[in-house]
Amino acid sequence: MATGRSHRPATRSRGIPEATVARLPLYLRALTALSERSVPTVSSEELAAAAGVNSAKLRKDFSYLGSYGTRGVGYDVEYLVYQISRELGLTQDWPVVIVGIGNLGAALANYGGFASRGFRVAALLDADTALAGRLVAGLPVRHIDELESIVADNQVSIGVIATPAGAAQEVTDRLVAAGVTSILNFAPTVLSVPDGVDVRKVDLSIELQILAFHEQRKAGEDDRQEPDGDVPAVMPA
C-alpha cells in the first residue's frame, strides 16, 4: 500500500537496492509467523510463497545480506529474523510522533504493531486545543506547539502525519526543522522535503481507485465473454 519517494540514492550504502529493502519487511513478516510456530528452517520456495514473491528473487535479495542458506536444509528461521531485523534497524528502539489525532491518527496510536516491530510512540500531537490532555492509547494528546521540544527530548527521527491535507506541509516543515528525517504521510497530498529526508506515502483512496480500475476491467472482460442473447453463439452454415 505504501508508496514513496526517497531523496537518497536508489542503492543504499551497503549496496542493497531499494527494491530489495522494500521486500525485507515481507520476508520478516513471513519468518516471524514461522518462528511463532517454532519452525526451525524454511526453503526458499516456501518462504517466497509466504511472502508473495518468486524464489529466484528471494535468493537474490538474501545474497545482498550475505545469507545463502544450506542446500537440502534451507534457511535458519531465527537467524534470518535477526539478520533482517538488524538490516532494517529494528534491533533498536525508534521513537515516533504521530501528528493529527482525528479518527485515523487515533487508530494509528492504538495499533499494537508499532511496539512489536521496534517503534515506540513517543507522543501524540494535534492543533486542536480541545484534544489537549485527552488520553488516546494510554498517551495524553499534546498541543502541536510542543512539537519541537518533544522531538528534541525524545530524539525522534520518524514522524507520522495524519492531518488534513491543508496542514500537512506546514507540519512537515516543522518536523524537518526540528530534526526529523523520515516521514510516513497519510495526508492526501504530496509533500515537499529537502534532500536527506525520506517520505513514504500511504493513500487509501488511491489504492481503492486502483482496485476499482481492476474491477471495472474484469467486469468489461466478463461482458465481452458473454454472448448476446439475440445473436446465436454459432452462426448457421
* Domain assignments of the chain as residue spans, ordered by start: 18-87, 94-204
Q: How far is CA 77 from the centre of its chain?
A: 22
pLDDT at 74 over 70: yes
Are residues 37 and 43 in contact, defined by beta-carbon separation less than 8 angstroms?
no
Q: How confident is the model at residue 179 (pLDDT cuts 50, 70, 90)?
A: very high
16 is in an annotated binding site: no
Which class for 194: exposed (0-12), middle (13-18), buried (19 or more C-beta within 10 A)?
Answer: exposed
pLDDT surpassing 80 at residue 142: yes
Q: Is 105 a known ligand-binding residue? A: yes
More confident of the two residues 132 and 113: 132
- 166 labeled binding residue: no
pLDDT of 54: 93
DSSP-assigned beta bridge partners for residue 182: 158, 198
Tell me the average pLDDT of the chain. Answer: 88
Q: CATH fold of 18-87, please?
A: Arc Repressor Mutant, subunit A (1.10.10)
The owner of cell 489537549 is 132
Model pLDDT, residue 4:
43
Q: Are the C-beta atoms of residues 146 and 174 closer than 8 Å to each other?
A: no
Residue tagged 484534544 (cell numbers): 131
The confidence band for 6, taking pLDDT boundaries of 50, 70 and 90, is very low
Q: Is 110 annotated as a binding residue?
A: no
Tell me whether residue 159 is annotated as binding: no
**pLDDT single digits (tens) 206-235:** 999 999 999 999 887 776 666 555 545 444
pLDDT band at 9 (very low <50, low <70, confident <90, very high): very low
> In this structure, which amino acid lies at residue 192?
S
> How far, in Å, are 19, 65, 80, 101, 215 from residue 77 at the CA level?
22, 14, 5, 38, 38
Instruction: Indicate whether 44 pLDDT > 50.
Output: yes
Q: Is the pLDDT of residue 171 over 60?
A: yes
Segment 110-137 shows an average pLDDT of: 93
Domain 94-204, CATH 3.40.50.1100 — does that match?
no
**pLDDT category, 94, cuts 50, 70, 90?**
very high
Q: What does the alpha-carbon distance between residue 187 and residue 132 come to, in Å, rounded to a whole number? A: 21
User: What is the arithmetic mean of pLDDT over 89-111?
Assistant: 94
Determine whether the annotation assigns residue 100 to a binding site. yes
Q: What letter does residue 53 receive in the DSSP assignment?
A: S
Report the alpha-carbon angle 102-150-157, nearest 5: 90
Pick from 116, 122, 130: which is nearest to 99 by CA?
A: 122
